[in-house]
């Protein structure tokens, strides 16, 4: 008997097995090393350029600070750090001379922030969104720690890419189809429904359970709709006789640190859709699965949504790069903002000179 590589996690903490002579595939989670060498090098470069090292001033990227922004500011202040709210809409590139930083953030005239904590990327046209992400890319290229960086945001904001990367890495996730042709989408949906499987359609870009539809039988095919011309179809996970529920697992620097069980009033378990949350024990199979998903996406922190089917096997349904934690904080024994900021500051160096890397 060997570990079922299609889904090795069960809700009783035991692996799912199938008959096979192949050795089980194991997922290794490697924590990134402390960046002490990088920090020392940046300090050396600062001294070379005559820049006095001091407490890093942090940019919190958000257009709606709210409760989460206040929590981060408080956690930074408790550690002697300032944190300013910055909108990506107000940032810009200035590439006309070499006398000022090439990426300009409001409130950071003539310097770069000591670190950037991403709490939101605004929507907009394709050109606008690409520009916002390019600002984050540029900051990372200049040596600024961006927590989660643009690469992580790009991998997770698009549900199709998230599903692809999870599937490719062997992390259990429901069967999913992403396509443009309506005729093909209808054929796939009909095939799944006739086989006894229900489907969920989702917008590629979306959150909080908005825009989701459940197709339960063939009569529902007329409701099959695309999201801006793209169909995202995912097999519905039946929880069996239990009430509709899933888990939100919070991962920081490769480690699952907290979890809550979300129970929906309907098949949607999102808190924004009327679901409620309760404290949940961070069982080993759930923790390992969430850690594996965050590792695949190469994320500093993540909110991983895990569900269990009627057979007792877990799978990942979504990975969030800008996860909310207000609901989780209500059932968590430690302060999540403190844990995030502790890890964030450990990875930040004093703001590098913008001249670094310049010829």
CATH of domain 175-236: 3.30.1490.20
Q: What is the DSSP letter of 181?
A: -
42: confidence class by pLDDT, cuts 50, 70, 90: very low
Structure confidence by residue, pLDDT tens digits, 189-211? 999 999 999 999 888 776 555 66
Q: Per CATH, which fold does 239-321 belong to?
A: D-amino Acid Aminotransferase; Chain A, domain 1 (3.30.470)
pTM, rounded to two decimals: 0.79
Cβ(246)–Cβ(255) below 8 Å: no
Second CATH level (architecture) for the domain 49-148: 3-Layer(aba) Sandwich (3.40)
The whole-angstrom separation of Cα 337 and Cα 319 is 19
What is the rounded average pLDDT of the residues 321-344?
Answer: 94
User: Tell me, what's the pLDDT at 206?
Assistant: 63
pLDDT at 289 over 90: yes
Q: Whole-angstrom Cα distance, residue 7 to residue 314?
A: 7
Q: Would you kindly state where each structural domain of the chain is located, as residue ranges? A: 49-148, 175-236, 239-321
9: CB partners within 8 A, 6+ apart? 15, 16, 172, 285, 286, 288, 289, 313, 314
Q: Are 144 and 295 in contact, with CB atoms under 8 Å apart? A: no
């Amino acid at each position: 008997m060997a570990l079922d590589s299609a889904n090795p996690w069960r809700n009783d903490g035991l692996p799912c097995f199938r008959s096979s002579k192949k050795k089980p595939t194991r997922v290794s989670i490697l924590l990134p090393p402390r960046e002490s060498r990088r920090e020392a090098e940046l300090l050396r470069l600062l001294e070379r350029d005559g820049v006095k090292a001091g407490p890093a001033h942090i940019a919190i990227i958000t257009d709606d600070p709210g409760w989460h922004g206040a929590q981060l500011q408080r956690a930074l202040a408790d550690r002697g750090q300032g944190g300013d709210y910055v909108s990506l809409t107000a940032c810009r590139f200035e590439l006309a001379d070499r006398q000022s930083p090439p990426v300009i953030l409001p409130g950071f005239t003539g310097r770069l922030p000591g670190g950037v904590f991403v709490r939101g990327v605004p929507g907009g046209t394709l050109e606008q969104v690409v520009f916002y992400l390019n600002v984050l890319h540029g900051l990372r290229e200049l040596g600024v720690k961006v927590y989660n960086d643009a690469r992580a945001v790009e991998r997770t904001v698009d549900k199709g890419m998230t599903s692809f990367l999870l599937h490719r890495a062997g992390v259990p996730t429901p069967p999913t189809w992403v396509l443009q042709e309506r005729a093909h989408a209808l054929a796939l949906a009909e095939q799944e429904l006739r086989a006894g499987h229900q489907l969920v359609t989702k917008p590629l870009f979306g959150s909080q359970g908005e825009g989701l539809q459940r197709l339960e039988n063939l009569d529902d095919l007329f409701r099959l709709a695309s999201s801006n011309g793209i169909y995202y179809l995912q097999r519905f996970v039946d929880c069996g006789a239990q009430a509709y529920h899933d888990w939100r697992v919070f991962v920081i620097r490769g480690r699952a640190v907290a979890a809550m069980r979300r129970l929906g009033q309907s098949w949607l378990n999102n808190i924004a859709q009327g679901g409620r949350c309760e404290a949940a024990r961070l069982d080993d199979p759930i923790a390992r699965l969430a850690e594996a998903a965050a590792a695949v996406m190469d994320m500093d922190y993540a909110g991983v949504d895990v569900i269990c089917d009627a057979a007792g096997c877990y799978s990942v349904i979504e990975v969030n790069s800008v996860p909310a934690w207000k609901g989780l904080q209500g059932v968590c024994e430690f302060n999540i903002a403190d844990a995030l900021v502790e890890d964030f500051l450990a990875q930040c160096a004093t703001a590098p000179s913008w001249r670094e890397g310049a010829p």
